[in-house]
Chains A and B, each alone.
Chain A
Amino acid sequence: MKRMQTLILPFQFLTYVLMLIALYAIFIHAPVEKTMGLVQKIFYIHLPSAFLAYLAFLITFLASVLYLRQKDPKWDIIAHCSVEVGVIFCTIVLITGPIWAKPIWNVWWTWDPRLTTTLILWFVYVAYLMLRRTVKENQRANLSAVFGIIGFVNVPITFFSIRLWRTIHPVIITTHGINISWPMKVTLIATFVAFCFLFFSLLISRIKLEYLKMRIEGIKGIMEEMNYSRGVYHGQ
């Protein structure tokens, strides 16, 4: 844990530097797309955010499986924190998408398979977070793990929705690679790397907070036990 604490500060600083590089690449290096114009640059935050939301839910899925196998609370913490960060990135996807769609499709929202499945995905994981708040503590980890596993079914459905059904959503990543010019590809990679660092910075910070909370609860429990035993002793 101490080694993690010494590593987190340089990691966060690197995230900051990479974010500046990504912003330079987006607004200075990347060319303006001919038909869509400036609004195409939304794509550079939309795509990495979508990928990181999927990654977050994959981490939740794996941590949930490991929790049910090992019953180690650390997997429950990782699953929960990952959903929280994933929902943040999924929210960014659901907001930047319609902002791009308005000038390009002339509508803010359409019930396209990709848009609809992404919205369902968001609802599923918001429900996961709500479930954790409402369920009793002794059932919370088990139920959340089951939810984390079942909820993950939506991720491949969302990802493959543009290949499985007729859609107006652009298909950027194909079997032939990424369908954009080289300067755009470089910008996308830079943004991708920066967003990955941002994602892990947020996730590690959130996990650290949850560990701290757990340790405080533990200390409080010990103190209460000590007070109780002293009270019993004095009562005798």
Chain B
Amino acid sequence: MDNSIYLFAAYSIAWVIIFIYVFYLFKRQNALGRQIDKIEKALRREGELKGGHL
């Protein structure tokens, strides 16, 4: 009974689902990283402004 196509389909789809989720986590991590960069820049600017006033 050759039904290897079903086996291939099942494993491929399972791995694709896992990889999509890992990619989603990776994308979210990048988005949070960008937010941290923004905060860091804002704080630096604030610090520079304070330094200027002094």
Residues of chain A having any CB pair with chain B under 8 Å: 35-39, 41-42, 45-46, 49, 85, 88, 91-92, 95-96, 99-100, 102-103, 198, 202, 205-206, 209, 212-213, 216, 219-220, 223
Known: A198-B18, A223-B42. A95 touches B10 (CB 8 A): yes
* A38 B14 Cβ-Cβ under 8 A: no
Q: Which residues of B contact A99 (CB under 8 A)?
A: 6, 9-10, 13
A-chain residues with CB within 8 Å of residue B4 when the two chains form the complex: 38-39
Cβ A96 vs Cβ B13 within 8 A: yes
**If the complex has contacts A49-B14, A209-B29, A223-B42, are A103 and B3 also in contact, measured as CB distance less than 8 A?**
yes
Q: Is the CB of B17 within 8 A of A216?
A: no
A36 and B1 contact, Cβ closer than 8 Å, known pairs A205-B25, A209-B25: yes
Q: Chain B: interface secondary structure?
A: helix
28 chain-A/chain-B pairs, Cβ below 8 angstroms: A36-B1, A38-B1, A38-B3, A38-B4, A38-B7, A39-B1, A39-B3, A41-B7, A42-B6, A42-B10, A42-B11, A45-B10, A88-B21, A92-B18, A95-B14, A96-B10, A99-B10, A99-B13, A100-B10, A103-B6, A202-B22, A205-B25, A209-B25, A212-B32, A216-B35, A216-B36, A216-B39, A223-B43
**Interface residue tally for chain B (C-beta within 8 Å):** 24
Residue of chain A at shortest CB distance from B35: A216
A156 to B2, CA, bound (A): 36
Q: Which residue of A lies closest to B7 (CB)?
A: A38
Closest to A42 in B: B10
Residue of A with least CB distance to B13: A95
B28 adjacent to chain A (CB < 8 Å): yes
- Cross-interface CB contact of B3 among A37, A91, A198, A219, cutoff 8 Å: A37
Which 8 A-B residue pairs are closest in the complex by CB-CB distance?
A37-B1, A103-B3, A99-B10, A39-B3, A42-B10, A96-B10, A92-B14, A39-B6
